Structure 1
């Protein structure tokens, strides 16, 4: 993940792909640091934003996992 000056947004760089992230998507990825659980990410986003639907965060992470951009572990 990096900041794109041209787009003035966070982007996710992958081979042959650039994903432009909205604010909450970038926040989710920043919290995917190996120390936060999914529940902690949901709680943190709830503190940052007034309404963050738990299921939307989980769906976003599920899509990232399916694309192998994020790996979820049990520990």
Structure 2
């Protein structure tokens, strides 16, 4: 695991010192369709999210961990 990839997600709101992003921002930054994120939320799959003031928000650190979990290492 010497070739680690670090994703640089950027939050659009800070709550309690933690950066969060909207569904739109998460979809734009990751390339995951907004509809796919909505389906994943309804099925309890995908990236961890928080429902705050009626909006689904993704914590930047959770988003980065989720993206890292999708990486597949192959033998060269």
Q: TM-score, normalised by structure 2?
A: 0.33
Q: TM-score normalized by structure 1?
A: 0.33
**Taking CA–CA contacts closer than 8 Å with sequence separation of 6 or more, which of the two structures ends up with the larger relative contact order?**
2
More helix by share: 1
Instruction: Tell me which structure has the larger Cα radius of gyration.
Output: 2
